[in-house]
Amino acid sequence: METQISNSVNELKIENNENGEEEDDFVDPWNVTSKSQTGVDYDKLIKRFGSSKIDGELLTKWEKVLNQPLHHLLKRQIFFSHRDMHNILKMREEGKSFYLYTGRGPSSDTMHIGHLIPFLFTKWLQEVFDVPLVIQLTDDEKFLWKDLKLEEAKKLAFENAKDILACGFDENKTFIFSDLTFMGQCPEFYQNVVRVQKCVTFNQVKGIFGFGDSDVIGKISFPAIQAAPAFSTSFPFIFGNANIPCLIPCAIDQDPYFRMTRDVAPRLGYHKPALLHSSFIPALQGAKTKMSASDENTAIFLTDTPKQIKNKINKHAFSGGKATIEEHRELGGDCSVDISYQYLTFFLEDDDKLHKIKEDYESGALLTGELKKMLIERVQPIIAEHQKRRATITDEVVKRVMTPRKLNFNFTDKTNK
């Protein structure tokens, strides 16, 4: 088992190629950088991580199983990689049950627009599959990694829960929990944590996550805490003693945790979690790194005013346009590096409009300033609507959703209709 885990994760640190030269991309759960202005090479990442590409065949099957159109984030391969999604679709066809699990590491009191991507997609998954969802707030992780006091980490988790609920999740089918609180409420959760801890050696966890001798022991033990929600027995108040499979939508930088989880699961008698991986929404300054909650100029925050959004995009959004209007009209812009266009692929749902924008920008008919204006006019209402919904999320609502309880769903081997 140790050899299996070690071999499966040594490639997660994309540092050197076979000739010993430094590779362009570096991806781990805490850092994402690329030397290319077009961003991370996701095809290489799929190969190194050993996941599977979401291809046309899978999308066709998915659409057939659901009997409805696919989410634009799927069609555009923003969610581009998976593990065992075929099994999830087969379970759906057979009327068998599964649940969703995703999470958030609360490092600031407000989330940015990039954080919306996995949650908006997870909301769609919850709706189309009609399944329960558990959302882990890893305030313990942020306490261990960041310069935060314990109470501050808990407060950030509570505030982030409001942003998450403002995405529109079904409260009756959603349980949100803070690690710092839930660990003491549910012995079954902690029992699964220690089961995972017993299966992974210190050498393995160093190989997976790059921990060093100077890292605090809390960091070394944390991955087991992120693994535990992938097992349904961690939530007896929802699932009883049933061993129910789970599907995890997340950004691909979180994959190391769940490769470890998938290696451990069979030893514990649990299902391996299935995964759906998203790409990263780049920083405003360009795709060499992702948005950061700790640098306000790299991101559009969910608390930003319309004026702040406009100023950030106009001032900071990296342009794929040419140096002069004349040159741009003649040669056109480069959508592969233009941040305004990249953001529209995430947030403009109309495929025809997006295609026309790309065509006009690359032909030179559309100028950079005009493209930025389109993005501003698209993002401002999204943020304003989110702020409006968040204002309705009271402390009492958050406490209710974060209370361990039976969710409005009965697990059977038949379709729940």
pLDDT digit of tens for each residue in the chain (417 aa)?
434 454 444 444 444 444 444 456 776 676 777 777 767 788 888 888 899 999 999 999 999 999 999 999 999 999 999 999 999 999 999 999 999 999 999 988 888 998 899 999 999 999 999 999 999 999 999 999 999 999 999 999 999 999 999 999 999 999 999 999 999 999 999 999 999 999 999 999 999 999 999 999 999 999 999 999 999 999 999 999 999 999 999 999 999 999 999 999 999 999 999 999 999 888 898 766 666 665 677 789 999 999 999 999 999 999 999 999 999 999 999 999 999 999 999 999 999 999 999 999 999 999 999 999 999 999 999 999 999 999 999 999 999 999 999 999 877 644 333
Which of 179, 71, 57, 58 has its CA nearest to residue 126?
71
Residue 224 C-beta-side C-alpha neighbours within 13 Å: 23
Strands of the 286-290 sheet, one edge to the other: 25-27, 32-34, 286-290, 282-283
pLDDT at residue 13, as a whole number? 43
Start-to-end Cα distance in the chain? 41
> In angstroms, rounded to a whole number, what is the distance separating the alpha carbons of residues 413 and 96?
4
pLDDT at residue 158, as a whole number? 96
| Domain spans in the chain, listed from the N-terminal domain onward | 2-283, 295-390
> In angstroms, rounded to a whole number, what is the distance separating the alpha carbons of residues 360 and 342?
15
**In the CATH hierarchy, which top-level class contains the domain 2-283?**
alpha beta
pTM of the shown model? 0.90
DSSP summary character for residue 318: -
Q: What distance separates the 2 farthest-apart alpha carbons in the chain? A: 68
The torsion angles phi and psi of 80, rounded to 5 degrees, stand at -120, -10
List, as one string, the DSSP characters of 393-411.
--HHHHHHHTS----S---
User: Are residues 79 and 249 in contact, defined by beta-carbon separation less than 8 angstroms?
Assistant: yes
- Quick: pLDDT tens for 305-314: 999 999 999 9
Which of 127, 103, 100 has its CA nearest to residue 115?
103
**295-390 matches 2-283 in CATH topology:** no
Topology of domain 295-390 in CATH is: Tyrosyl-Transfer RNA Synthetase (1.10.240)
The torsion angles phi and psi of 177, rounded to 5 degrees, stand at -140, 145
